[in-house]
Structure 1
Amino acid sequence: MTPLPDLPDLPDLPFPRTEVALNTVRYVRGISAPAIFNHAVRAYFFGRFLGGQKGLRPDEDYDDELLFLGCVLHDVGLTEEGDGDQTFDLDGADLAARHLTAQGVPADRVEVVWDAVALHLTGAIALRKRPEVALMAAGTGYDIRPHGPALPAGYADRVHAALPRLGGAAALHDAIVRQALAKPHKAPVFTLPGELVRQRTGQVWPTWRELVDAEPSWGDYGPPAG
């Protein structure tokens, strides 16, 4: 059994050991902060568990490698390499696609991972997509706040022994805010990055009408007062 690079082997917590999966772990491990990398891999183990609770079987009801790749890559938009000019989820989806394409992954499989990464902040939308997308979103959410079915006795302990939390939620928050403060367009109003920046800075968001009335405007609310 090929060990996962830079991680202890987890014989009772199986994961894909394909060449693409192992290369992706090496790649993400090399560009990510440890707390965020650990969060990404934990999301796979929690997503796989949540799938099992719904009777979904790996490589029968969903593609286990695609779930793993989506989880491992889902926060690469928070790395220096992934820090572009979009919100971090879209930056990450684009970087994930470039990485997998360079590995020779077929376009239809790359598209599934792109969707998983791009949609992982969309909550109910992601949960209604194909299993690889839905389980990735569910697993990432469970790792931040474990709502849902209780884990089997000792499961979380084994995952956390191999992948320590290292203040994962705080690290994610700080990485999102740090990017957005440097590039404010990465935190549009009414988005998760925008809300985290608003909480950090105390800035006031415009109302719907103020957004619509801002120049240029179609004048749907009539001419400006005054």
Structure 2
Amino acid sequence: MPPETTSETTYGLSPVHASASTLLATNAPTTPPPFIPVTQTPIPSTALAERINEYARSHLPEPTYNHSLRVYHYGLAIKQYRFPAWNFTDETYLLACLLHDIGTTEENLHATKMSFEFYGAFLALDVLQKADTGPDAPKEQAESVAEAIIRHQDLCEKGRITALGQLLQLATIFDNTGLYADLVHPSTIDDVSLHFPRLKWSHCFASTIHRELEIKPWAHTTALGIEDFPSKVLSNTLMSPYE
């Protein structure tokens, strides 16, 4: 029988291990990841997905927008390979990917004293639920996306996180640092990078980290290491051929 579907599973609110290492050690596969091209992980054509995609395209710098879509395609490739039982909608995951870095724009960094993930989650809730035109997201879907955005840099070894949040973490850290290279086929990386070029993303993101810490030296990003994290971003050897 297929797994029971509820609003929690549909929107990715099922609890999973917060520790990626613990999660990935469970039921480890015996086969390598398959090649999953972009054509096999299409962007949903729902009115909500199209509205948020246009919002992200118009508000994010091109390198950040491309990163957001790489995270979408890498995440779905990881999900198909390692977590096929996670049956939250592609639409919900796309919304989280498109909005997870909305707090990093120069305007939004200066709009608040809050860390970019937290402020970005508030912005996401507002954008998802208060549309001038087009559909609003259901409340639970919007809250799941906001939860995932708040915690997408919260790399814990204890406790739980939502399935949506864990996938967003895995895919962002994969694109940003090259960690968990064994989760994605090299040809998938080739194809995703061809469709959504990095445009020197490693340097762009490292500069954004330094920019936030210059403005807000208390920011949550410091939990990843004030110097260690940007260093890992800049030494991303897995993605360096695509920079």
Question: Conserved in 1, the CA contact under 8 Å of 2:104 and 2:208?
Answer: yes
Counterparts of 1:1-226 in structure 2, within 5 Å, are 10-56=38-84, 61-83=87-109, 84-103=112-131, 104-124=136-156, 128-148=160-180, 149-181=182-214, 183-184=215-216, 187=219, 190-192=222-224, 195-196=226-227
Question: Conserved in 2, the CA contact under 8 Å of 1:43 and 1:71?
Answer: yes
Q: Which has the larger radius of gyration?
A: 1
CA distance in 1, matches of 2:163, 2:221: 30
- Report the count of equivalent residues: 187
**TM-superposed deviation, 1:184:** 2.9
Q: Deviations over 1:158-202 (max 9, x none)?
A: 111110011112211212322332x3355369434x7159989xx
Provide TM-score, normalisation by structure 2: 0.68
- How high is the sequence identity, in percent, across the aligned residues? 25
Amino acid at match of 2:125: A
Amino acid at match of 2:194: A
Question: Conserved in 2, the CA contact under 8 Å of 1:70 and 1:113?
Answer: yes
Matched residue SS, 2:143 = helix
RMSD, aligned α-carbons: 2.8
| Bigger relative CO (Cα 8 Å, ≥ 6 apart) | 2
- With over 3 angstroms needed to count, the CA separation of the structure-2 counterparts of 1:97 and 1:126, relative to structure 1, is farther
Matched residue SS, 1:129 = strand
Question: Conserved in 1, the CA contact under 8 Å of 2:65 and 2:98?
Answer: yes
Of 48-57 and 28-37, deviating more is: 48-57
Q: Which consecutive unaligned segments of at least 5 residues does structure 1 have?
A: 1-9, 201-226
Provide TM-score, normalisation by structure 1: 0.73
